Every structure is written in structure tokens, then in C-alpha cells.
Amino acid sequence: MKGSAGVTHPPDPTSREGSDKPTREELIALNAKLKKEMEAMSKEQSREEATARRNQMIKLVAQRPRVGNKIVFGTAGERPEAALRVLHNPATGKNTTNPEEIIGIVTDFMSQKVAAPRDSKTGKYLPAEAPRKYPFEAPNQTDAFKLLAPDQTGPGRRRWLHKNVADVAAYHACIRTLARGKAPGPDGVVNEVLQALPQAGHEALHALMQLMWAAGHTPDAWKRSETVLLHGPYKL
């Protein structure tokens, strides 16, 4: 039958009269059937809601990971400093919650971080207050380092001719990555000259690199380096 709004409603089994009136057993069976259908609908709705909540959480974690992690781990209502009440004391090797001891730990840590490099750590930066004593500041002084061939540092692990050394593409890749606008080294050759070599020059230089690798020898002049301290703009 149709109501006043034009919506079709299922017939009410309890409205039948006479011999067509449902028995008690039929009503119990109908009630169980309706209950089962309602439970199935509730489970389906709960499954859809759970899927929607899960997708929403995945999206939140992807877009705002810090907020999402706080919600996931149940710390969304806590203050950020609540998880930072304990510090490890390097002097005692134990964790501490004492505010005064925590202040001392942080002070010691930051004092070492802001200290001047090399020599004594005084926390001063100006050259007059904290001299650096760089090796290259002395006249005719070069950097103290020693370049060794791979066969001298790792015996038995070096092949006679490495595939990257013999690869022309690897050689040109190294040449292209040379910085421009830099001061030349002890040989007086700037990087732009190496990049502007003709094809024959590149072939000769590549062959020289292969011979040096195969022989395990580097010219002594190539083992020297000169460092110049350059101050950037607006810096003392």
C-alpha cells in the first residue's frame, strides 16, 4: 500500500485478520530474521565507518605527520615539554629529572658546541682573541697529508685496472664536475683549462690516469696542496 507521501511500505503481518493472522511462532521467526538483517546492516555500516576513519588517519599522517603520530600514540593532549623531562647525564651515566642538573647538562653541551675550533675551547671567535695557528699561514708551508695508492692501503683488494678508470664516460663526468672560478693549485693550472682541452688532450690525460692507476704511482708534485683562507662577503 502507499502512504500520503507516495512511499511504498511493506505490509504489516500483524494487521491481517481471521485465519490469516500470523501465529506466535511466525512472529518469533520474523523477529529473528529482522534482528539478523539489522545486525548485518550495522556490521556493514561499522565496516564502512572504520574504513573511512582509517583512510582519514592515513591522510592525516601523510599530510601532518607530527599531529598524526601524536593522535596514534595517544599524546595529542600532552604538552610538548612533557616528554622532555629526563636527560642523560654524561658525567654520572644516569638519567636525571632534577631541573638544576638538567640546566647544567644543557649548559655544558652548548658551551662545547659554540667553542672555537682547534686548540683550547674558549668560546671566542675573533682572530685576536682565539688565534687559529693554521699550517698554511707559515711561509712556504703546504698541507700535511700523504696520498697513498689503493694497493698500499688495502693489499690484495685492488684490481690491475678498475673499470671506472678505463671508462671514458667516467673521466668526462669527473671533468664536468670541476668547480669554476677557483684559484689554481701548485701546478698553476685552473680547472677551466682542463675543461677546455681538445679531444687529443683529453685522451692523453685519460691515458695518463690509467697508467698511474696500473702502476700504483702518483707524481710527487700532485701530492701537494695549497690552502688559502678566503673570507666571504660581510664577514670578518
For 64-76, the pLDDT digits (tens) are: 777 766 666 665 5
Q: Model confidence over 73-132: pLDDT tens digits?
A: 665 555 555 555 678 888 888 888 888 888 888 888 888 777 656 555 566 777 777 667
148 residue type, one letter: L
- 89's enclosing H/E stretch is strand 87-89
Count Cβ atoms below 10 Å from residue 191 Cβ, excluding itself. Answer: 17
pTM across the whole model: 0.33
**Distance between CA atoms of residues 22 and 31, nearest Å:** 12
The reported pLDDT for the residue numbered 35 is: 77
CB 75 within 8 A of CB 87: no
The reported pLDDT for the residue numbered 159 is: 59
**Distance between CA atoms of residues 23 and 38, nearest Å:** 22
The reported pLDDT for the residue numbered 185 is: 72
The reported pLDDT for the residue numbered 227 is: 65
Count Cβ atoms below 10 Å from residue 213 Cβ, excluding itself. Answer: 21
